[in-house]
Amino acid sequence: MKASVGGYARATDLRHALDLLAASDGMGRVLAGGQSLIAALNMRLSSGDLLIDINRIDSLKGVVLAGDRLRIGALTRHAEIATDPLVAQHAPLLQKATDLIAHAAIRNRGTIGGALAHADPAAEFPACVLALDATIQVEGPQGSREIPAAEFFVDVFETTIQEGEILTAISLPIQEANERQVIHELGRRSGDYALAGLCIVRREARHRIVCISVGPKPELAIAAMARLDEGDEDGAVAALRDGLDPPSDTQASATYRRHLVGVLLQRAIADLNGATA
Amino acid sequence: MTVTFSDRIDIALTVNGEAVEARVPAGRHLVDFLRLDLGLTGAHASCEHGVCGACTVRVDGQAIRGCLMLAAQADGTEVWTIEGLSDTGAVADLQAAFIARNALQCGFCTPGMLVAAQELLNAGGVPDRTTIREHLSGNYCRCTGYEAIVDAIETVAIARSGRGAA
Ligand SMILES: Cc1cc2nc3c(=O)[nH]c(=O)nc-3n(C[C@H](O)[C@H](O)[C@H](O)COP(=O)(O)OP(=O)(O)OC[C@H]3O[C@@H](n4cnc5c(N)ncnc54)[C@H](O)[C@@H]3O)c2cc1C
Ligand code: FES
Ligand code: FES
* B16 and B75, same domain (yes or no): yes
Q: Is A67 left (phi over 0), alpha (psi -120 to 50) or beta?
A: left
pTM of the model: 0.97
Boundary-marking domain end, from B69, B85, B101: B85
Of A3, A8, A34, the CB nearest to B9: A8
* Cβ-based interface (< 8 Å): residues of A facing B: 1-10, 12, 16, 19-20, 23-24, 31, 34-35, 38-39, 41-43, 50-51, 53, 55, 79, 102-106, 108-109, 189-191
- From the candidates A10, A41, A103, which should be mutated to test the interface with B, based on the most B CB atoms within 10 A? A103
* A13 and A38, same domain (yes or no): yes
Q: Which domain, by its residues, includes B45?
A: 8-85
Residue A37 above 60 pLDDT? yes
Query: From the CA of B144, how far away is ligand 3's center (Å)?
Result: 6
Contacts for A106 with CB less than 8 Å, ≥ 6 apart:
A35, A78, A191, B50, B65, B68, B138
Contacts for B123 with CB less than 8 Å, ≥ 6 apart:
none
Question: What's the gap in Å between the CA of A214 and the closest CA on chain B?
Answer: 23
Q: What is each CA distance from A115 to A14, A35, A110, A132, A247, in whole angstroms?
A: 19, 9, 7, 16, 21
Inter-residue contact A209 to A133 (CB < 8 Å): no
* A192 and A103, same domain (yes or no): no
Which CATH number does the domain housing residue B140 bear? 1.10.150.120
* B110 and B150, same domain (yes or no): yes
Which CATH number does the domain housing residue A230 bear? 3.30.390.50
Q: Can you tell me the distance from the alpha carbon of A106 to that of A100, in angstroms, rounded to the nearest whole number?
A: 12
**How many independent structural domains does chain B possess?**
2
pLDDT in tens, A203-243: 999 999 999 999 999 999 999 999 999 999 999 999 999 99
Question: Does the residue B21 lie in any domain?
Answer: yes
pLDDT in tens, B81-140: 999 999 999 999 999 999 999 999 999 999 999 999 999 999 999 999 999 999 999 999
User: B79 at the A interface (CB within 8 A)?
Assistant: no
* B95 and B146, same domain (yes or no): yes
Q: Which domain, by its residues, includes A260?
A: 181-272
Question: Does the residue A38 lie in any domain?
Answer: yes
* A154 and A72, same domain (yes or no): yes
Question: Does the residue B124 lie in any domain?
Answer: yes
* A69 and A160, same domain (yes or no): yes
Sheet with strand A5-10: strands edge to edge: A5-10, A49-53, A28-31
Boundary-marking domain end, from A140, A173, A206: A173
In DSSP terms, which residues pair with B57 in a beta bridge?
B64
Q: Is the CB of A39 under 6 A from ligand 1?
A: yes
- From the candidates A35, A38, A44, A109, which should be mutated to test the interface with B, based on the most B CB atoms within 10 A? A38
Boundary-marking domain end, from A133, A153, A173: A173
Question: Does the residue A277 lie in any domain?
Answer: no
Query: From the CA of B140, how far away is ligand 2's center (Å)?
Result: 10
Inter-residue contact A123 to A193 (CB < 8 Å): yes
* A78 and A157, same domain (yes or no): yes
Question: Does the residue B26 lie in any domain?
Answer: yes
* B65 and B36, same domain (yes or no): yes
* B100 and B74, same domain (yes or no): no
Of B26, B50, B138, the CB nearest to A39: B50
Residue B166 above 90 pLDDT? no
Ligand closest to the CA atom of residue A162:
1
pLDDT in tens, A232-266: 999 999 999 999 999 999 999 999 999 999 999 99
Query: Which string of DSSP letters, residue by residue, matches A117-144?
Result: HHT-TT-HHHHHHHHTT-EEEEEETTEE
Which CATH number does the domain housing residue A31 bear? 3.30.43.10
Total residues found in chain A within this entry: 277
